[in-house]
Structure 1
Amino acid sequence: MPTVGIIAEYNPLHNGHVHHFEEAKRRSGASRSIVVMSGPFTQRGEPAALSKRARTEMALRMGADLVIELPVAYAVQPAEWFAYGAASLLEATGVVDSLCFGSESGSLAQLLPLARFLAEESGPLQREIRRRLALGESFPAAYSAAAALAWRDRLGEGGPAGAAGSSAGPAEPAAGQGDAAEGSAGSPGSGSGLEDLLRRPNNSLGLHYLIALRRLGSGIVPLTVPRLGAGFHDPLRPGASIASATALRGLLREGGSPEGYMPEYSLSILRREQTEGRGPLDWESFRSPLLHLLSTRTAAELAGLLDVGEGLENRLLRVVTELERFTVDGLLSALKSKRYTRTRLQRMLLHIMLNHGKEEFSPESLSKGPGYIRVLGFRESGRPLLKKMKQSAALPVIIRPALCSDPMLVRDLQASSAYAAAFANPLRSDLYSDYLQPPVMV
């Protein structure tokens, strides 16, 4: 019985996610599915709108058989490490046959050859990225431009065939597996077209999934589904049934209703969480604890935390004292620059709030991959899959976190408690839900 893996945040789960899930099952021919989902904080450095338990329930009601948590060590990282952590978990389960992700291109024909090349992480590529960062470019812009330049240089040395390399990597998709059949043909091309391809957020993240599978030597077959309807930054469109999660979170902040954009079970869970004071949350929900931390730490203490460097610690403390009224949005707006994007700054604030040290979250540490598979929930139909995973997994499968002392898991538990503390009236069962509540079951 084939199993497809999906990497998601479901923040919140909407009709576009349902489309992707159904297409992933159809294109992969899988009868079972495993979702790797971010916990309380997301890749763009934001608090999730709803708790991981609520979003897990949404995923299970959609039809996912099993949901496992992407550790916070990877969930709040740039695309490279986010993708590596998630792909490592799917590989470690020992039961996943394919990985299906959404992309703007809707095709692997351009992404696969480029992933094979970039998986080598050439020295010139890294030097070009550092050079562009020193000139003030943001990391996404520097990476896409450097990757395009490196690919053009490789084409000049011998063409796409030379870029494929001979290192181990994901199995080439077989004919008949939807768009994946294009994977062994085609080329990313050259010039500004490639750079534009990589600047699209889903293409970029998908590329990093492919690179991660390559580096892991994984046999998981990659598949992609074209992003349907609204783009990442597109506003809500009257009469449409699909909107981006970004637009829906904005609607929720304004007090609007996302009815029509979310399946009924997802909308029902959202309303329940609203009624019980457990969301939706955003950065302003954490204004007080963040201000407390920024008011009681020195520049030297901040400089030891992840993503705080290059004098940002001094600028951060100065800007805090200059704000007439402290809001997280106001702080981010004052700090934002051409070099420091809002996403980069949001991740920095999360690392400050969660006390993530540079050494603990170093590339050397992250390259080892997660040390456990944390089960957030499963359907009744997923019990056989869970049983099989326990027998085949290369990592411990964690049902009761109290029985595991992995340092990364400790950070997950701390993140969940910090998140729940922002509820309207947090209960003990909210603050310590990881210890007190079993996995979500549907």
Structure 2
Amino acid sequence: MKIVGLITEYNPFHNGHLYHIQQAKRTTGADAVIVVMSGDYVQRGVPAVMPKRLRAESALECGASAVFELPVCHSTGSAELFAESAVALLDQLQIVDSLCFGSECGDLDALSEIADLLCQEPKDYRSLLKKHLRNGLSFPCARRKALKEYLPEKNFAALLDEPNNILGIEYLKAIRKLKSTIKPYTILRKGARYHDQELSTENLSSASAIRSLLSYSGSSLRKYDDLPKGAFDDTAPFNIFGELESQVPQCCLKLLKDCHKVSYPIYQNDFSLILKYKLLNKYPENLLRYMDVSEELANRICSRLNYFFNYKQFCDLLKTRELTQTRINRA
């Protein structure tokens, strides 16, 4: 029996995820699919829109044979930590033959070449990276610029503009570092782009667009600005599931209807009061023991607590050129 592993968040499960499962089996010739999935918090550092058990049930209904949870300290890590932990989990099961991930480019050779370079870190590349970091760029921006300058004849830097490409490179790095026998495959991402906020007419919408629609359905959450402005102003709340009918598998639609406003939607601003309460009892030196919290960030958090209105607004307030929004959310 051949088994393919998938690394996922399913936040929430939609047609693109079903396509991924089907194509992964077809591309690799696997008989079964094993999924490693983020739990109640995802890699962007925010709570998943719905509980992990509901998302796992959706995956099992749509063709996964088993779903394993990626522990929260790994699921909310950097792209490198997220990928390495997930690949290590699949590798240690000792039954997974291949890993199949989606990418915006669909070019495994190009992604593998970048992964090799980033694993080896040649001296000239490392010097360029350090230069851009000293100039105050965030690590993702510094790495992109260093790669562009190190290999000007190739368009590799453009590949690092796309989130699925970035994660794919990290999966390939992890396989190399772990000396795993898992064979990587990639499939071309279809339909909407990762950050698209509008539903796709091709019935392959992004999770971002579906989360925005579900946020609209929880009208009490709208005051927290979790929605893009004007995204669904013409959609009556009672018609939410009519909009979703073509965007998610039918078995998932039933789960969404049954659990709506019972166990979801959940958004980061739901935790605003408890977060502020916890932070009011902290000093910068207390915060330094948490992953991803630098001395600079710890001082910014404590000095700006009087301006805390809600979770999302406070993270926006803390952002700097060096500290990305995602890094702050994770911290």
Alignment of 1:137-152 (within 5 A): 137-150=137-150, 152=151
Residue equivalent to 1:243: 205
Aligned: 1:204 with 2:204: no
Alignment of 1:63-82 (within 5 A): 63-82=63-82
Contact residue 15 and residue 262 of structure 1 kept, 8 A: yes
Distance 1:263 1:307, change over 3 A: same
Q: Which runs of 5+ in 2 are unaligned?
A: 218-236
Contact residue 136 and residue 338 of structure 1 kept, 8 A: yes
SS at match of 2:108: coil
- Alpha-carbon distance in structure 2 between the residues aligned to 1:246 and 1:237: 9
Residue equivalent to 1:370: none
- RMSD of aligned residue pairs (Cα, Å): 1.8
Alignment of 1:215-234 (within 5 A): 215-234=177-196
Residue type matched to 1:296 in 2?
A: N
Residue type matched to 1:315 in 2?
A: R
1:111-164, Cα deviation, whole Å (9 max, x unpaired): 1122223222456545543432332222221222234444x3xxxxxxxxxxxx
Q: Which runs of 5+ in 1 are unaligned?
A: 153-189, 349-442
Residue equivalent to 2:312: 329
Contact residue 205 and residue 247 of structure 2 kept, 8 A: yes
Contact residue 114 and residue 156 of structure 2 kept, 8 A: no
Residue type matched to 2:188 in 1?
A: P
Alignment of 1:358-373 (within 5 A): none
SS at match of 2:160: helix
Q: Which structure is higher in RCO with an 8 Å CA cutoff and minimum separation 6? A: 1
- Alpha-carbon distance in structure 1 between the residues aligned to 2:93 and 2:207: 28
Contact residue 194 and residue 208 of structure 2 kept, 8 A: yes
1:210-261, Cα deviation, whole Å (9 max, x unpaired): 1110111111111111010101111214633111111211121111523321
Contact residue 273 and residue 310 of structure 2 kept, 8 A: no
Residue equivalent to 2:268: 283
Equivalent residue pairs, number: 307
- Offset at residue 289 of structure 1 (A): 1.3
Contact residue 4 and residue 33 of structure 1 kept, 8 A: yes
Contact residue 115 and residue 170 of structure 2 kept, 8 A: yes
1:267-301, Cα deviation, whole Å (9 max, x unpaired): 222222224x2111110111121011111111221
Equivalent residue for 2:258, pick from 234, 249, 272: 272
Residue equivalent to 1:318: 303
Contact residue 39 and residue 70 of structure 1 kept, 8 A: yes
Contact residue 76 and residue 330 of structure 2 kept, 8 A: yes
Residue equivalent to 2:129: 129
Residue equivalent to 1:16: 16
Distance 1:69 1:204, change over 3 A: same
Contact residue 141 and residue 199 of structure 1 kept, 8 A: no
- Alpha-carbon distance in structure 2 between the residues aligned to 1:148 and 1:216: 27
- Alpha-carbon distance in structure 2 between the residues aligned to 1:93 and 1:22: 22
- Alpha-carbon distance in structure 1 between the residues aligned to 2:126 and 2:10: 32
- Offset at residue 208 of structure 1 (A): 0.8
SS at match of 1:33: strand
Alignment of 1:23-422 (within 5 A): 23-122=23-122, 125-126=125-126, 128-150=128-150, 152=151, 190-191=152-153, 193-237=155-199, 239-255=201-217, 257=240, 258-275=244-261, 277-323=262-308, 326-348=309-331
Contact residue 7 and residue 36 of structure 1 kept, 8 A: yes
Contact residue 197 and residue 212 of structure 2 kept, 8 A: no
- Alpha-carbon distance in structure 2 between the residues aligned to 1:147 and 1:81: 21
Contact residue 199 and residue 209 of structure 2 kept, 8 A: no
SS at match of 2:120: coil
1:351-380, Cα deviation, whole Å (9 max, x unpaired): xxxxxxxxxxxxxxxxxxxxxxxxxxxxxx
- Alpha-carbon distance in structure 2 between the residues aligned to 1:273 and 1:127: 52
SS at match of 1:199: coil
Residue type matched to 1:28 in 2?
A: T
Residue type matched to 1:108 in 2?
A: L
- Alpha-carbon distance in structure 1 between the residues aligned to 2:199 and 2:290: 41
Residue equivalent to 1:428: none
Instruction: State the identity %.
Output: 39
